């Protein structure tokens, strides 16, 4: 071991072990005993160690008090916390330990009651949840982490092999560098644990107002801000954006790699959210990748924005095709027809339970992922015939709730989600010609798809079917050109949606050249009059929404 890693070395002579998760416990404890470490323990942990033939001393013997109150009080005692918190090179602390016959504890091995697993069970009661709130465990973890200069704290069985390797290499000691890292991990561990408890109780104990609804004034907490619609409710109630926002993440699975093979990645679930792609059940196919999750989420959010039976095909977070129809199969074939070439290897999402007919249509070309609220049993069997096709059951369709987080270097951007849905009555006709009923339907459809397309976004569509998509261009007029250029269906007679206003008339002139009949856009440009005049010149109907949908 190099000199840097032996700095501040502290030998482990006495360890306290009290764990809920007993994976690897016996092997680790046996390794400690092999290095001459005295073992202290409690309850079930002590029993497991004795049954493995290991010599262990009960905490109750050290404290002089038995475990009390159904095990609620075991380690909350000066003979335990004094031994953990004493600063070894402080003479006053040394005298206090000697006076009260308290032995130092050099290592604390603790993981906490399984609160998150308990509250995740269907039908769990408040009483059952409360009993899984650990008190003594977090207290010991925090004491040991605070005194990291002298004490090591181990909160996960996954760390055991690393600790044992260093103990073996140093002859029974751990470096300051290692103890510091363990302390940081410990505080993260207790922070996540407390966050899980706060999140659960903020719902379970929330008082109701006289009408049975949530009392925002008395019950609102920062953690609630991430719950279903809480942000919108709070802001609508006149509350300011909070100074602090809690976001509790727990790792669900390691992924093969990130966006690219040289990047590491994992899927973390947001504890406060119980729906969405991260929570979806994988029914079949290969392991989901980082990019699969990102694209599946984009597809799922898009179809959840439709009341009609809808299907979306996504490539690289942009829709290559979207269709609505009376049946899922027809909706899929409409979406596919928009751009069958780009659909190869794409992500497909439905907003209805998938039947066998839709499943068979889906398997006609190579698809990476299909996501839907649910699948008929026959549909699952059809889809499983494609062994690499990932099948995700996402549950009830609903717009994403809570806050939207975007990471930037050195910080985080936080905003409420874009859950706006446009209604027919919101539209303002600004041209001489009114849209026909068919055009109104096509415009609203195109607008919804455009909302889920990377800006600058242009969508050509007919009622219930996309015709061409221009996405992510630096110039809006380029998006107009690309959307028409890539169209596999006739552009003539379609309508056009733009996610933001046209800054000049050139975009509208270009679209008119391809034979569109109507336009939907936010309006609000200083050149609106010029753009409206261009629409009138081309005999186009145009409506303003008064709202934009930038998507970066």
- Catalytic residues, by residue number, are 146, 316
Structural Rg of the chain based on CA atoms: 30
| Token pair 């070395």 in the structure block, residue | 9
Q: Identify which of 269, 301, 324 has the alpha carbon closest to the alpha carbon of residue 398.
A: 301
Tokens of 324: 């609505």
φ/ψ (deg, to 5) at 18: -150, 100
The CA distances from residue 510 to 51, 194, 518, 534, 545, in Å, are 81, 57, 13, 11, 21
H helical segments located in 35-135: 43-51, 59-63, 78-85, 91-99, 115-119, 126-131
Q: Quick count: other Cβ atoms within 10 Å of Cβ 58?
A: 16
**Which residues contact residue 321 at a Cβ distance below 8 angstroms, ignoring those fewer than 6 apart?**
312, 313, 334, 335, 336, 337, 338, 339, 342, 343, 466, 469
Show the DSSP H helices in 8-58 as ranges: 25-34, 43-51
Closest CA to 8 of 105, 84, 95, 88: 88
* CA 223 – CA 272 distance, rounded (Å): 8
Identify the CA nearest to 147 among candidates 227, 83, 209, 70: 83
What letter does residue 489 receive in the DSSP assignment? Answer: S
């Amino acid at each position: 071991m190099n000199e840097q890693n032996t700095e501040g070395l502290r030998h482990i002579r006495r360890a306290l072990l009290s764990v809920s998760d007993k994976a690897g416990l016996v092997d680790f404890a046996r390794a400690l005993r092999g290095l001459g470490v005295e073992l202290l323990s409690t309850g079930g942990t002590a029993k497991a160690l004795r049954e493995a033939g290991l010599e262990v001393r009960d905490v109750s013997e050290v404290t002089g008090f038995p475990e009390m109150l159904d095990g609620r009080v075991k380690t909350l005692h000066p003979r335990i916390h004094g031994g953990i918190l004493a600063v070894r090179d402080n003479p006053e602390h040394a005298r206090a330990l000697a006076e009260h016959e308290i032995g130092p504890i050099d290592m604390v091995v603790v993981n906490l009651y399984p609160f998150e697993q308990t509250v995740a069970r269907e039908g769990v009661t408040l009483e059952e949840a409360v009993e899984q709130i650990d008190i003594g465990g977090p207290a010991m973890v925090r004491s040991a982490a605070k005194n990291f200069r002298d004490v090591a704290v181990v909160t996960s069985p996954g760390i055991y092999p690393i600790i044992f390797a260093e103990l073996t290499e140093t002859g029974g000691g751990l470096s300051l560098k290692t103890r510091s890292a363990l302390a940081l991990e410990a505080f993260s561990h207790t922070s996540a644990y407390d966050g899980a408890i706060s999140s659960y109780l903020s719902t379970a104990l929330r008082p109701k107002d006289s009408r049975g609804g949530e009392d925002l004034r008395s019950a609102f907490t920062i953690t609630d801000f991430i719950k279903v619609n809480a942000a919108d409710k709070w802001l609508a109630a006149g509350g300011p954006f909070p100074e602090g926002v809690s976001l509790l993440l727990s790792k669900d699975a390691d992924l093969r790699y990130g966006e690219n093979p040289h990047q590491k990645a994992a899927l973390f679930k947001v504890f406060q959210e119980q729906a969405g792609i991260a929570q979806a059940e994988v029914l079949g196919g290969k392991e989901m990748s980082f990019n699969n999750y990102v694209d599946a989420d984009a597809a799922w959010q898009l179809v959840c924005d439709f009341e009609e039976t809808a299907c979306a095909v996504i490539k690289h977070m942009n829709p290559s095709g979207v269709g609505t129809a009376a049946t899922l199969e027809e909706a899929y074939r409409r979406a596919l027809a928009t751009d069958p070439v780009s659909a190869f290897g794409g992500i497909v999402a439905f907003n209805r339970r998938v039947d066998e007919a839709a499943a068979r249509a889906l398997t006609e070309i190579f698809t990476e992922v299909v996501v839907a609220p649910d699948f008929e049993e026959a549909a699952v069997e059809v889809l499983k015939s494609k062994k690499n096709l990932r099948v995700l059951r996402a549950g009830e369709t609903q717009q994403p709730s809570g806050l939207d987080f975007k990471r930037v270097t050195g910080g985080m951007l936080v905003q409420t989600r874009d859950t706006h849905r446009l209604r027919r009555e919101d539209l303002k006709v600004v041209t001489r010609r009114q849209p026909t009923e068919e055009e109104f339907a096509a415009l609203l459809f195109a607008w919804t798809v455009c909302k889920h397309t990377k800006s600058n976004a242009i969508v050509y569509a007919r009622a219930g079917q996309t015709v061409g998509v221009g996405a992510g261009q630096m110039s809006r007029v380029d998006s107009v050109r690309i959307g028409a250029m890539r169209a596999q269906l006739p552009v003539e007679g379609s309508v056009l949606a733009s996610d933001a206003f046209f800054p000049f008339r050139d975009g509208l002139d270009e679209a008119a050249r391809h034979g569109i009949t109507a336009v939907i856009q936010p309006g609000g440009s200083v050149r609106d009059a010029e753009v409206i005049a261009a629409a009138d010149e081309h005999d186009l109907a145009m409506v303003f929404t008064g709202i934009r949908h930038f998507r970066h």
